[in-house]
Structure 1
Amino acid sequence: MFYTDYKLQFPVRVETPSPVFARALQQAIGGVEGEIRVAMQYMFQAWGMKGPGSARYRDLLLNTAAEELGHIEMLATAVALNLEGAPLELQEEGAADAAVGSIMGGRNFRQFLSAGLGALPVDADGVPFDMSHIYASGNIAGDMYANITAEGTGRTLATRLYHMTNDAGMREMLAYLIARDTMHQNQWTAVLEELEAENPQMPVPNSFPQAEENQEFSYAFLGFTADGAEPPAGRWSEGESVDGKGTFTTRAMEPMGDVPTPPAPRPGTYPQTSQLPDQ
């Protein structure tokens, strides 16, 4: 159950409205790096969290998910404020104004046509967020790694938006969001650190017995160059593995299987006659 106090999490102000920047802000709302993504990801991870001792991690996820809903509200408010002042009719005098010119130039027609100069659950190209980038595996370590990635890409996006604008109000809001991304990267890493203190977390899932995997390839870095040259060397190719359970090696990969022989097509699937076996 969720509650609201009708107030923004952080002040949102725009000194110089810009429909161009309003479109850019849509990426932070409905883009794959955006706030809808992380809000839904943390909620579904929390709702699917099981096992003894998981309650506080579930609470952590839900609190952060609620925060991310507030970020969506902030950004939607910022979009509306950046669209403020654009003419309601594209043909009226003043259509040469920079604001409506941006709309007429295709910056984001739907913010005008579909939302009445408001935000939409879409990215900067107008593509609706379809939930396909929600990662909630039910494995706490796997989910935490996914969350660190989500916050890393989100912070990268926010810093790019920060440098796209000189508007003091927008920079103030983005500086706050960037700081929260910093915290969230740290808190998800802290969960992994806490779990690691109890027992090793890698490889994920650590509940699967490694004796049942093909251990010849567990820590081998494989090269797939056509000439069979050695693949690039680095920390990943020699020495103790990061999980401390093996030693990295390097080898050029050679095919171990035969040329695949697909089964014959069934007549009822209507291939061409040349595909059918001899009758």
Structure 2
Amino acid sequence: MFRHTKLLQFEAKPEKPDAAYARKLQELIGGAYGEMTVTMQYLFQGWNCRIEGKYKDLIMDTATEEIGHVEMLATMVARLLEGAPATVMAEAVQDPVTAAVIGGMDPQQAIIAGGGALPNNSQGVPWNGAYIVASGNLLADFRANAAAEAQGRLQTARLYNMTDDPGVRSMLQFNLARDTVHQKQWLAAIEELEEDGLETPIAPSALFDEEDQVHNNTVWRLSDGHDGSKGGWSSGPDGIEYLKDPRPLGGPGTAPKPDPALYGTYEPVRDAMGTMKGKAKEVKNRLTGKNR
């Protein structure tokens, strides 16, 4: 059961409207690393979690908080759009929608949302459920969560530097702080999963005996760079072996002969003398008229 409280988690009041910035802020709502993504990612991770207790509670606590972050951002967008598109541009531009477009506003915010936020990114692309990660493996999911919070905080930091509105900045300062603690909590939860004996550093903790034992501890140098072997991952008793001159292990990646009905181009089969055989030869003779 979810219950909505008619109070924002943090205030979302800009000092003045800014339709162009409202469009930019859409990225934090419906972008690949926006609040809708982490909301649905954490909700599905929580709903799919098979262990009751601290891990599931942490996931659901954070998921529910992220719903509130979507609400905060949607409220901020609506307030940034106040008066738009009518007053967003100079008086010389008479048509309000044209003025809004020229001024950088997403016209869909006016046409579809009536001056409000949309479940889209800053380019107007709708949010996509394929953005989320909810595998059922808590170690893999928590690592994805830490990465999502890092990307979200990065974009929030960039947007923070794109405005000087004190009201917007105040809300983004709060969002930055929450992204910081969420990164910390997922990293701590990863360590605790290992301490509790639920997972090991590699996910999933299975099939180690079945995997290729020759290639489970090597890095292949496949770029022109020469410094890959200088990293800490290539030193110490458990260091990864760095192969400086790796060789291909497979044969040519040639696709098989296509189905004739698909009319794919392929090289005709030739005998030892270089003469075309069978159907290919018949087709060539028919086209050149040699059978006449």
Bin for the TM-score computed over the shorter chain: 0.7 to 0.9
**Matched residue of 2:123: which SS?**
coil
* Pair 1:260 & 2:253 matched: yes
Residues 151-204 of structure 1: CA distance to partner in whole angstroms, max 9, x if unpaired?
Answer: 011111111111111111111111111111111111111111211213362111
Call closer, same or farther: CA 1:234–1:93 in 2, change over 3 Å: closer
Following the alignment from structure 1 to structure 2, what is the Cα–Cα distance between the partners of residues 166 and 93? 24
2:195 is matched with: 197
The equivalent residue for 1:119 is 117
Matched, 1:70 2:68: yes
Shift >4 Å, 4+ stretches: 88-94, 96-100, 228-232, 272-278
C-alpha distance in 2 between matches for 1:33 and 1:146? 11
The sequence identity of aligned pairs, in percent, is 41
Give the drift of 1:236. Answer: 2.0
Which residue of structure 2 aligns with residue 45 of structure 1? 45
Structure 1 residues 92, 155: closer, same or farther in 2, change over 3 A?
A: closer
Mapped partners of 1:158, 1:29: distance in 2: 11
3-state SS of 1:12 partner: coil
1:5-25 alpha-carbon deviations (Å, 9 max, x no partner):
222111111112111110111
Which of 220, 235, 240 is 1:238 aligned to? 235
Residues 190-223 of structure 1 show CA distances to partners (whole Å, capped at 9, x for unaligned) of 11121121336211111x1312111222221111
Asked if residue 144 in structure 1 is aligned to residue 142 in structure 2, the reply is yes
Q: Which range is displaced more, 71-80 or 249-258?
A: 249-258
Give the structure with higher Rg (CA). 2
Distance 2:88 2:153 in 1: 36
The answer as to whether partners of 2:85 and 2:99 remain within 8 angstroms in 1 is: no
- Cα distance in 2 between the residues matched to 1:234 and 1:91: 54
Taking the aligned partners of 1:192 and 1:91, their CA distance within structure 2 comes to 50
> Which residue pairs with 2:79 in the alignment?
81
Q: Which residue type is aligned with residue 22 of structure 1?
A: A
Match of 2:186 in 1: 188
* Secondary structure of 1:132's aligned partner: helix
RMSD: 2.7
Counterpart of 1:131 (choices 126, 129, 132) is 129
Cα distance in structure 2, aligned partners of 1:239 and 1:96: 70
2:220 match: secondary structure:
strand
1:239 maps to a residue whose letter is G
- What 5-or-longer segments of structure 2 have no aligned partner? 270-277, 280-292
Q: How many angstroms apart in 1 are the aligned matches of 2:18 and 2:89? A: 19
Distance 1:197 1:218 in 2: 24
**1:106 to partner: Cα distance:** 4.5
d(CA) in 2 for partners of 1:82, 1:35? 18
The letter of the residue matching 1:152 is: A
Q: Does the CA contact (< 8 Å) of 2:233 and 2:239 recur in 1? A: no
Q: For 1:33-78, what per-residue CA distance to the aligned partner results, in whole angstroms no more than 9, with x for missing partners?
A: 100000000011111112xx44331221111111000000000000
Instruction: Provide closer, same or farther for how the CA distance between residues 232 and 95 of structure 1 changes in structure 2, counting only shifts above 3 A.
Output: farther
Across the two proteins, how many residue pairs are aligned to each other?
A: 269
